């Protein structure tokens, strides 16, 4: 079908049971092809059976498609073959790209770079054998709908799915930079609507009291269990495990939680701490740039409780190397919440709890931003409503 294509015609072209094409009367050789899936692509044809795909309508406008088609037709007249016909589509698959190019680069250039490649392998497993140039918007749209459900009726948060998508999009941009892909189709993809968490979750006084009680009870149980176990071992003339001090901690969990509550450190920042980053005399912890989310080093002062916790923990397990040996605290943290009867509270919410307490005590938002390590003050403004007295005083000045 021949027609003078317009933006409205392109946008309103509906998929049918079979693919169909609309030929542009304004530009010789330009075709809009509509697939049953709804995918729309620009095609240029310069002779019978000679055609090439220019790109999907999601990232190539009508004007851009006409310009490229006109150039191709002019080259066909002058050279008998357009330049785009000489270029062969890249056959590198997503899986090969990750293994041979992206992951080696990410390991060196990105903090915890191997995780990005693994995230793509895990959540885009069906695309690993597909050539890079075939990963287009309709394909990813279908993935998006499937990703929001795990197949068992359990919903996956949109924010989680969007992080997966952003990881793939960033990887494809590197493929373009390395000349392994002509264009990144996902850059023109309409941004997915992702609702931010509307409620800043922090501990109520009663919840904090129960959390602290659960930590104390857990430490006592672990310390007593170690003492009982060692008594049995000694009675049987077996090697005993190191005794835990009666005024110490059962393991790393209590120091990690209390330090998070008093510094607002992220979980990754806490677990990457080295004893060389802790200065108990100066009462300061240093977050190295390589371990900070924004890539900037910062120094955090230790208040009395944080200093006491770190001092006791240094006597119990101090030495060169990591402050906390485990890679994660998820299992212990979840069991602790169950024991304390606290629901819908993540470990990361300890960071919100820290910031909320500062704001309610009258600390200005810029200071809170520096302590939290926020690169943008917009992230800190979520706590502004917790300082009603300060806001009221500001409004009162108008009177």
pLDDT in tens, 54-91: 888 876 889 988 998 898 888 888 888 887 776 555 56
Same domain, residue pair 339 and 221:
yes
CB 255 within 8 A of CB 313: yes
Dump pLDDT digits (tens) for 213-271: 999 999 999 999 999 999 999 999 999 998 888 888 999 999 999 999 999 999 989 99
- Burial code (b: 16+ CB inside 10 Å, e: under 16) for 131-161 equals bbbebbbbbbbebbeebeeeeeeeeeeeeeb
Query: Positive or negative CA dihedral for 319, 253, 328, 298?
Result: negative
Dump pLDDT digits (tens) for 103-130: 999 888 887 788 899 999 999 999 998 8
Same domain, residue pair 213 and 327:
yes
In a domain, 353, yes or no: no
Provide the pLDDT confidence category of residue 282 given band limits of 50, 70 and 90.
very high
Same domain, residue pair 49 and 141:
no
Same domain, residue pair 155 and 230:
no
Domain termination residue (choose one: 305, 323, 347): 347
Mean pLDDT of the chain, nearest integer: 86
Mean pLDDT confidence for 329-337 = 92
In a domain, 380, yes or no: no
Same domain, residue pair 236 and 210:
yes
In a domain, 381, yes or no: no
- What pLDDT is stored for residue 394 in this prediction? 57
- CA dist., res. 328 & res. 41, Å (int): 46
**φ, ψ of residue 202 in degrees (nearest 5):** -140, 165
In a domain, 30, yes or no: yes
Same domain, residue pair 242 and 336:
yes
37 pLDDT higher than 90: no
Q: What percent of the chain has pLDDT over 70?
A: 90
Range of the domain at 304: 205-347
CA within 13 Å, CB half, 389: 6
Through-space distance between the first and last CA atoms of the chain, rounded to whole angstroms: 70
More confident residue, 114 or 398: 114
Same domain, residue pair 210 and 324:
yes
In a domain, 359, yes or no: no
Give, as one character, the DSSP assignment of residue 274: B
- What pLDDT is stored for residue 152 in this prediction? 53
- What pLDDT is stored for residue 384 in this prediction? 75
Question: pTM surpassing 0.85?
Answer: no
Smallest Cα–Cα separation from 330: which of 320, 321, 338, 319?
A: 338
In a domain, 243, yes or no: yes
Same domain, residue pair 210 and 184:
no
Q: How many domains does the chain have?
A: 3
Domain with 53 in it: what CATH number? 3.30.160.390
Mean pLDDT confidence for 142-153 = 74
Smallest Cα–Cα separation from 201: which of 337, 346, 367?
A: 346
Same domain, residue pair 235 and 264:
yes
Same domain, residue pair 263 and 342:
yes
Beta strands in the chain (DSSP E): 2-3, 20-24, 30-34, 40-47, 50-56, 278-279, 284-287, 298-301
Same domain, residue pair 169 and 67:
no
- What pLDDT is stored for residue 155 in this prediction? 65
Same domain, residue pair 128 and 163:
yes
In a domain, 104, yes or no: yes
- What pLDDT is stored for residue 172 in this prediction? 92
Domain termination residue (choose one: 126, 161, 188): 188
CB 158 within 8 A of CB 193: yes
- Both structure tokens of 43: 């095609």
CB 366 within 8 A of CB 372: no
- What pLDDT is stored for residue 351 in this prediction? 92
- CA dist., res. 286 & res. 302, Å (int): 11
């Amino acid at each position: 079908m021949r027609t003078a294509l317009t933006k409205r015609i392109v946008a309103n072209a509906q998929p049918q049971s079979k693919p169909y094409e609309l030929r542009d009367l304004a530009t010789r050789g330009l075709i809009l092809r509509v697939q049953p899936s709804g995918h729309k692509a620009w095609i240029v044809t310069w002779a019978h059976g000679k055609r090439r795909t220019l790109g999907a309508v999601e990232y190539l406008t009508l004007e851009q498609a006409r310009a490229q088609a006109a150039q191709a037709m002019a080259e066909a007249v002058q050279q008998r073959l357009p330049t785009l016909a000489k270029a062969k589509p890249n056959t590198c698959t997503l899986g090969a790209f990750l293994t041979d190019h992206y992951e080696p680069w990410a390991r060196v250039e990105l903090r915890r770079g191997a995780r990005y490649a693994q995230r793509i392998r895990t959540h885009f497993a069906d695309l690993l054998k597909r050539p890079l140039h075939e990963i287009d918007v309709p394909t990813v749209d279908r993935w998006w709908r499937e990703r929001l459900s795990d197949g068992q009726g359990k919903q996956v948060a949109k924010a989680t799915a969007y992080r997966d998508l952003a990881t793939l999009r960033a990887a494809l941009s590197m493929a373009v930079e390395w000349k392994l892909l002509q264009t990144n189709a996902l850059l023109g993809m309409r941004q997915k609507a992702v609702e931010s968490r509307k409620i800043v979750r922090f501990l109520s006084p009663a919840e904090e009291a129960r959390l602290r009680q659960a930590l104390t009870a857990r430490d006592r149980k672990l310390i007593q269990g170690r003492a009982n176990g060692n008594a049995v071992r000694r009675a049987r003339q077996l090697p005993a495990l190191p005794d835990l001090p009666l005024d110490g901690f059962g393991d790393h969990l209590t120091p990690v939680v209390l330090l998070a509550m008093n510094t607002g450190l992220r979980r990754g920042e806490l677990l990457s701490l080295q004893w060389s980053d802790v200065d108990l005399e100066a009462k300061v912890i240093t977050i190295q740039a390589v371990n900070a989310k924004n890539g900037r080093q910062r120094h955090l002062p230790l208040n009395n409780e944080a200093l006491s916790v770190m001092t006791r923990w240094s006597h119990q397990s101090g030495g060169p190397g990591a402050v906390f040996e485990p890679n994660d605290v998820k299992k212990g943290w979840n069991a602790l919440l169950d024991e304390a009867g606290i629901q819908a509270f993540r470990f990361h919410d300890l960071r919100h709890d820290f910031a909320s307490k500062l704001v309610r005590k009258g600390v200005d938002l810029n200071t809170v931003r520096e302590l939290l390590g926020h690169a943008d003050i917009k992230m800190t403004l979520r706590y502004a409503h917790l300082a009603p007295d300060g806001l009221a005083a500001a409004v009162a000045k108008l009177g």
